[in-house]
A = this chain, B = another copy of it.
């Protein structure tokens, strides 16, 4: 059993008494890494991935650049971690829309979800959308697979909406990309002093499902 490696002296099949020893990275390490990823997203949003330096990221954390390498293998991995956090939490949070049965209500919920999510995490989504081609090849397929999974949720909701007369007939791919474009685009123009994500989400819903 892989899990027994390093458990020298333990009886075979016997459970170690008391709380199991923590495996993997410590809670402090995990928290610090999350902080680094957060700051990196902010820096890469403001200066771009290539122009935003690891010195920029480190100094905003009161660290030296070399210290980042205790947490991260490379700058490319740091970008990957931003992408992974973004798409993973997007996939997680979209789950709640899938329990909605009514085709119209489900599509409306998906639209509102995308608008509110993107507007609430501008750094992560700006990097995710604008720096997508900068992601290193070795990380690409994993992120791409999750993006496709995400897109499929919208495609299926569109197809169902078309079948039920909620939307005009159209290719599910086009309908899904139209909706994702309309909603995600908010990261380029949203001004918190002026705009309200909920109101914009309502406008999107009204626009494509008037009545």
Q: Which residues of A contact B (CB under 8 A)?
A: 46, 48-51, 129-130, 132-134, 167-171, 173-175, 177-186, 188-189, 195, 199-200, 202-204, 206-208, 210
Contact = CB atoms under 8 A, between A and B. Distances in A.
A169 B211 CA distance: 11
Contacts of A132: 188
Contact of A171 (B175, B177, B199): B199
Stoichiometry, as copies per complex, reads 2
Contacts of A133: 46, 48, 130
A51 B136 CA distance: 13
B50 A203 contact: no
Nearest to A50: B50
A192 to B, nearest CB: 14
A207 to B, nearest CB: 5
7 contacts: A49-B50, A50-B50, A130-B130, A169-B206, A175-B207, A178-B182, A181-B183
A46 B134 CA distance: 9
A178 B199 contact: no
Contact of A182 (B130, B167, B182, B199): B182
